[in-house]
Amino acid sequence: MIATRYYVTTAIPFVNAEPHLGHALELVQADVLARHRRLRGQQVRFLTGTDDNALKNVTAARAAGVDVGAFVDTNAERFAALRGPLDVLTDDFIRTSGARHRAGVHRLWRRCAARGDFYRHTYEGRYCAGCEEFLDDGDLVAGRCPEHDAVPETVSETNWFFRLSRYQDQVLDAIASNRVRIVPQARRNEVLGFVRSGLRDFSVSRPVQRSGAWGIAVPDDPSQIIYVWWDALANYVTALGYGDDQTDYRHWWRDGDERVHVIGKGILRFHAVHWLALLLAAGEPLPTHIAVHDYLTVDGAKLSKSAGNGIHPLDLVQRYGVDAVRWWLLREVATLGETDFTVDRLVRRADADLAGRLGNLVNRVVTLVEKYRDGRVPAAADAGEHGQRLAAAAHDVAGDVDAALARYDFRAAIAAIWRLVDGGNALVEQSRPWELARAERAGDVAAAAALDAVLAALIAACRRAAAELSPFIPSGAERLQRQLGCGDTVAPASPVFLRRAGPLAVES
């Protein structure tokens, strides 16, 4: 049964540089989940935002010779501006430099402190600025952080520590029992192995001197700033008014049916271990699902702001159209394992699928209805064996899409819709409506009835496909739906998706 209250979030990125295509991937995936649930009539809230308080934001601002606040504001706006061009429809956008977030973080801290879960400790370790995390020997490869290919700096500090070890059994039970469901299975196994190896307490604050006083001060200890990950993870509840226990928090988190985080694999431990422990310490409900995606690469190298290979998604949208960009991210990116991006792959996939199989089908079907029935859709009738197969595919597609997205398998969901599209193309070739029309003109009554049945079946299938595609390519699906019309009429035929060998034509 689909949940009645569905809360879905992305991770909130650091704003030390401009966004890249990897950020677009996560936004689009979460947007599909939110739109799909809205399509099914569910209550949905979709949150994204920015992590303004990271030390790496401070470092980047200093390197640029810019005031930290101005630097963070400028880059946060660039992330916020991704939503419109990518057809991403959010309900909220939180910035962690805001007052509602600060109030919620302080409340969460005090709830944990009341349980005796914090203590001061002097610690020396190797700190990766890219991860904003102290790393153990087992985390390093040849002495370097594998995530950022950098040698961590040695840092000695006196900080507040959180008793993560106290919650090892509870975190393990939550994941092993699937009370918190982590997908794909390989990522779940990874987290279970990490927890079973033993959880160690971790630092949850930094000295004010090191952070330049940027961030949220520890309650009752102005010498310390709350560690950025502890601070950032709280955004999922502070955005709902956790700071003063607002109605939204109670409705979407405390009493909600599904609480879903869509994140990249590099921050899995923070979400699947640290975040669960913080919520347990505060006596709050846990997320129900953590959906993990792998990385995009360019020429085999991970997309990265610091590496300078971060393809800007807005440039792609401007050149090739939002449908092509969203389609590649959802159709091509693997559920597990890295996916290499090239412009050629984006263009070829959009040409083959959107302009070729889908666009060609809809344009042909609408043209046939215009030509042979003056734009009026015939009443549904038995279209024979092939038509029955198409009708069965149209009937099954919603359930197949539901099942695939319940597994967070976007490619499988599209494949379910594509079975319907391919079935429509097959029916056109098998029934040959132009030959039925020729026979009808010669006085063949049976051919006329068969043509009515085929056209009705094709329009019904195309309309169903367009509806199911609306979470994936909202703009393209809307154009398809306008062309397919409603009731017993269709709009004049015109190409919805344009094809060209080379950069994809921007849709009109």
Catalytic residue among 56, 106, 131, 293: 131
Residue range 434-470, pLDDT digits in tens: 999 999 999 999 999 999 999 999 999 999 999 999 9
Residue 306 pLDDT level (bands cut at 50, 70, 90): low
Nearest to 405 by CA among 7, 29, 52, 25: 29
Of 26-30, 46-50, 321-325, 493-497, which range is least confident?
A: 493-497
Peptide bond into 184 cis (omega under 30): yes
pLDDT, tens digit, for every residue of 21-60? Answer: 999 999 999 999 999 999 999 999 999 999 999 888 988 9
Per-residue confidence (pLDDT) for residue 4, from 0 to 100:
87
pLDDT in tens, 68-109: 999 999 999 999 999 999 999 999 999 999 999 999 999 999
- Percent of the chain predicted with pLDDT > 70: 93
pLDDT of residue 280: 98
- Judge whether 302 counts as a catalytic residue: yes
pLDDT(140) > 80: no
Q: Please tell me the pTM assigned to this model.
A: 0.91
Q: Which helix (H) or strand (E) holds 154?
A: strand 153-162
> Is 20 annotated as catalytic?
yes
**Annotation marks residue 128 as catalytic:** yes
Q: Which of 20, 101, 261, 271 is catalytic?
A: 20
Write down all domains in the chain, each with its CATH number in brackets.
5-311 (3.40.50.620), 343-484 (1.10.730.10)
CA proximity to 502, closest of 383, 338, 346: 346
Catalytic residue among 274, 293, 305, 462: 305
The number of angstroms, rounded, from the C-alpha of 469 to the middle of its chain's C-alpha atoms is 16
* Inter-CA distances, 85 with 107, 317, 319, 468, Å: 36, 7, 12, 21
Alpha helices in 12-167 (DSSP H): 21-39, 55-64, 68-80, 99-114
Q: Is the dihedral of CA 258, 261, 262, 268 positive or negative?
A: negative
Tell me: pLDDT of 148 over 90.
no
Least confident range of 128-132, 274-278, 318-322, 358-362: 128-132
Catalytic pick from 56, 128, 261, 274? Answer: 128
305 in active site: yes
One of 148, 265, 312, 386 is an active-site residue; which one? 148
> Among this protein's residues, is 131 annotated catalytic?
yes
pLDDT value at 303 more than 70: no
- Would you say residue 505 has pLDDT above 50? no
Catalytic residue, candidates 56, 112, 145, 271: 145
Segments in 200-257 forming alpha helices (H): 208-211, 228-233, 235-238, 247-248
| pLDDT at residue 118, rounded to an integer | 97
Which has more confidence, 133 or 67?
Answer: 67
Q: Is the pLDDT of residue 508 over 60?
A: no
